[in-house]
Amino acid sequence: MSRYWRIYRTFFVSSFARELEFRANFVAKVFQNVIWIFFFILILLVIYRNTDSVAGWNRGDAFVLAATCFFMNAVFQALFLSLNEIPEQVRKGTLDFVITKPIDTQFWVSTRKFNFDQVGTLFAGIVMIGYGSYIAHIHAGALQWLAYVSLIASSTVIFYGFNLMLMTTGIWLVRVDNLWVLGDTVMQIARYPLDIYGSGLRSMFTFIVPLAFLATMPARQLKDHFDPLMLALGISWALAFFVLSRWFWNYALIHYGSASS
């Protein structure tokens, strides 16, 4: 474990050095992310100017929900940016060099680059959670906050597993660089409360396709009350996605013919 920590620290430092080479670009990307969140907040304000509640979610609850989605996505984008490069590595043949290294290949392709421009989004998400909790008069206990943090961690693992499997298809299809748009579409859906859908879709997004756990279920731990069943289900989904994505990655490597074949 200490060996992998040293390797990740090297990845982190090299990523930071890369950002320092183009500082103006780094500042511009951080500013762009914050501006994008600002415009989404304006949309929420317009919606709640004409109503006090949407499917049982008031303005403060909506802020917490959106902030949860922003925060989770920022954590994912910061830690696992390099997943999007898998199809390019297959096409250029650089995946061959990763496979020959004395290191777990999934760890390498997942964590090779740290995305520092998500720092602004992380801080904006934290501020939105605090502001939303304040105006919604949310007085969550320690158990609720623990469940909230646990489900955010679970949602990050779920989204990681989904994206890893998505990008791994590039080993067969090669030109799938733009599949990251599908992941972005998933986040667009998760940004809105699950309660706006009918009972059939709510059940599907909870028990079949776990979109509910990307934002709605964590936010509900603060909005409503501590729900141990949803916490257990969210952790179970995270474990399932991690195991399945790891199996799929190793299965794909078995069928990877390398750039020279």
Closest CA to 220 of 78, 74, 55: 55
pLDDT of 256: 83
| Residue 89: pLDDT band with limits 50, 70, 90 | confident
pLDDT at 45: 87
The DSSP bridge partners found for residue 57 are 54
Task: Using a pLDDT cut of 70, give the percent of the chain over it.
Answer: 96
Per-residue confidence (pLDDT) for residue 238, from 0 to 100: 97
Mean pLDDT of 111-132: 88
Report residue 123's pLDDT band, with 50, 70 and 90 as the boundaries.
confident
- pLDDT exceeds cutoff 60 at 261: no
Output the CA torsion 23→27→30→32 (10° steps). Answer: -120
pLDDT digits (tens, 9 = 90+) for 18-38: 888 777 887 888 888 888 888
CB-based burial of residue 175 (10 Å sphere; 0-12 exposed, 13-18 middle, 19+ buried)? exposed
pLDDT at res. 192: 84
The 10s digit of each residue's pLDDT in 216-245 is: 999 999 988 889 999 999 999 999 999 999
Contact 71, 219 (CB under 8 A): no
Q: Which of 62-76, 170-184, 206-220 is predicted with the least confidence, judged by mean pLDDT?
A: 170-184
Q: What is the mean pLDDT of residues 86-104?
A: 86
pLDDT higher than 60, residue 68: yes
Residue 101, pLDDT above cutoff 70: yes
Q: How far apart are CA 146 and CA 221, in angstroms?
A: 9
pLDDT at 260 over 60: no
Look up residue 145 and give its amino acid: W
Range from 43-52, 55-64, 181-190 carrying the lowest mean pLDDT: 181-190
Q: What value does the mean pLDDT take over residues 162-189?
A: 80
Mean pLDDT lowest among 19-33, 77-91, 126-140, 239-253? 19-33
Q: Helix count (H) and strand count (E) of the chain?
A: 13, 0
